[in-house]
Chain A
Amino acid sequence: DTAVSQTPKYLVTQMGNDKSIKCEQNLGHDTMYWYKQDSKKFLKIMFSYNNKELIINETVPNRFSPKSPDKAHLNLHINSLELGDSAVYFCASSPGAGQPQHFGDGTRLSIL
């Protein structure tokens, strides 16, 4: 039983395209997150949502638009993809604020 699941696992696309990544958690958690991991493996928070409400937007370009239809889902839509967007994107969830986060297996985005 996958706790935090992301789709797709791999995404290869051309510069300028628009793409979406989906995330679902079956842990009953209230809080969900998106992270970007760069080529040096550094993990940086992008967005935090609590009960479908945006709590943190860590100065992410507005080409990135998260959407939370319910507290079990947090999807990430990216417009006008750029070369610098190539990275691994991780979704995570936690029971609430200040709690340990549980991560999905990542979506590897490659921009050609």
Chain B
Amino acid sequence: EDQVTQSPEALRLQEGESSSLNCSYTVSGLRGLFWYRQDPGKGPEFLFTLYSAGEEKEKERLKATLTKKESFLHITAPKPEDSATYLCAVQAGQAGTALIFGKGTTLSVSS
């Protein structure tokens, strides 16, 4: 069964304190791994897609990496506006085009 697990469930950081969020997955035939940001009361906002092990993508203070078993979302020198829930999802062969989501990591950054 395809599965996505995110850790930690919640993370509290001070402004400027860098850290990483983890997304481990077990799927048959990975077609893509996606990172989303979700603010309270809103829909998920697309951040990155990673397709193969070794691939990396960056956007401002965020950097996503991918291995054969997991992905990391590195947050460098976070600011309070980075506070949100970060969702990881995979697209696998058996599930067709649909996404399988993890439960998310809620990040709080205080000044």
- Do A and B share a complex? no
